[in-house]
Amino acid sequence: MSLKDLSTSVGNAIYRQIGRANAHLQNQRSLPVDVLENETTYLVVFDAPGAEPDDVQVRYLSGTVRTRIDRFRQFHEGYEMRFPGRGTALDGEAELPDDAVVDPDAGTARLSETGTLSIEIPKRSAIDADDTDDATATTDDADSGTTEVTVDD
């Protein structure tokens, strides 16, 4: 083995270890999140890059919205993994205000083509004021590039 081959081999091993450490750190860090509110709804927005609708789990428990994304790296024909730097198991959570009274069963979640997960949770007073089932209806909006995902209690 030449000195150049040894140097290349050591460099590749270090590069892979840095990538693994970066992916591990990303798996440990919470997803970036915004919590917004209007008169009728809370909107929780997570960055979920690279997620597909089947990869996403959303749960509401005791005033906290939690999401888990188990995404997969696609195989690219003719390429070798050099730097596995993207985490595959991503978690995030957001607490609603202490005085929030919501109906999580009426919540909806949408994943945009750009990887933004938007979760709308109606306030209880907004549901009580609405005598129709429109508040619990969920729809796919293909024109806006969003896909419905399931919200679990």
What CATH number should be reported for the domain holding residue 57? 2.60.40.790
55-73 as b/e: b if 16+ CB within 10 A: bbbbebeeeebbbebebee
Q: How confident is the model at residue 102 (pLDDT cuts 50, 70, 90)?
A: very high
- Can you give the residue range of the structural domain that contains 47? 3-152
Between 29 and 146, the higher pLDDT residue: 29
Q: What's the pLDDT tens digit per position in 25-51?
A: 545 567 889 999 999 999 999 998 888
Q: What is the mean pLDDT of the chain?
A: 75
Please tell me the distance from the alpha carbon of residue 112 to that of residue 64, in angstroms, as a whole number.
Answer: 22
* Domains in the chain, number: 1
CB 92 within 8 A of CB 30: yes
pTM: 0.64
